Amino acid sequence: MSTESFPPVSSPSLLRRLARGPSAVRRVTRAGFFLAETFGRIAGAASQSVPTDTPSRARRLSWVAEQMCALHGVDVIVRGRVPTEPCVLVANHLSYLDPVAILTHVPALAVAKREVAEWPLLGEPMRQMGVLFVDRSSPLSGARVLREAKRRLHEGASVLAFPEGTTTSGDRVLPFKRGVFGLARLADVPVVPVTIAYDTPEAAWVGDAPFLPHYVRTTTRTATRAFVRFGPALAPEQAPSPEAFAELARRHVLAGLLD
């Protein structure tokens, strides 16, 4: 049982009344309010005596995800059994909303691309709360993150990763990279496949699309529904190699997409 006492999740009713309307200026202004509030809440959570033990950090990150869902009107609909023991969560990847939606219902420490660590006002607070940043072009960075993720699994926290390595529009699941599946075998923890989808194709943030215009469209919507399906826990002995383990998990994620 968690001993942390976090403030209640709040809904930004005032912000949702601000900057409404069809004009581009109002849409951008409204997005600016949401960005400022996002920065403030994440920085505030990181500054409030960040827990030193790994499970508590995961719970703090989950609380921040709840805040972000409430702030941005993201309604998360969950199917399947939510894991309660340390595991490696692997999901398909559509948007920056994905980890927020998933972590709302299962405390975990996320693996994110190195570029996120460089986002002004967000990168350092996220690092303090336990997010692991990986440089996808550097094998050394990948190995370092996997070692750190293994330590955190042994300390009792789950780890969330997106093994496609990039985002898609949600109509397919790309081949999974093997790294986190070798990690699960070394740490002797199950892999839980997670399928995520949205009620609108506009939620996907794909390729080289600039962030701000997409974020403006996201904040313009009154609500976004995220569908998160947790698949069965897959034991390491169910596959003879990390590559086979990756393909097994991918098939479960794809099945959830087609379900």
CATH number, domain containing residue 215: 3.40.1130
Shortest CA distance to 76 belongs to which of 39, 110, 103, 41?
103
pLDDT of residue 248: 98
pLDDT of residue 37: 54
Tell whether 3 is covered by a domain: no
Residue 61 has which token pair?
């990150």
Tally the domains of the chain.
1
- How many Cβ atoms are within 10 Å of 202's Cβ, its own excluded? 14
Tell whether 5 is covered by a domain: no
Tell whether 6 is covered by a domain: no
- Segment 218-244 shows an average pLDDT of 93
C-beta pairs of 213-219 under 8 Å, 24+ apart in sequence: 215/31, 215/34, 215/35, 216/27, 216/28, 216/30, 216/31, 218/72, 218/97, 219/27, 219/30, 219/31, 219/34, 219/72
**pLDDT by residue (tens digit) across 6-46?**
555 444 444 444 434 445 444 445 445 445 555 455 555 55
Tell whether 8 is covered by a domain: no
The more confident residue out of 163 and 40 is 163
Domain residue limits at 184: 13-258
Sheet holding 74-79, edge to edge: 74-79, 224-230, 191-198, 88-91, 159-161, 109-113, 132-134
Tell whether 32 is covered by a domain: yes
Whole-prediction pTM: 0.81
Would you say the C-alpha torsion 81, 93, 131, 15 has a positive or negative sign?
negative
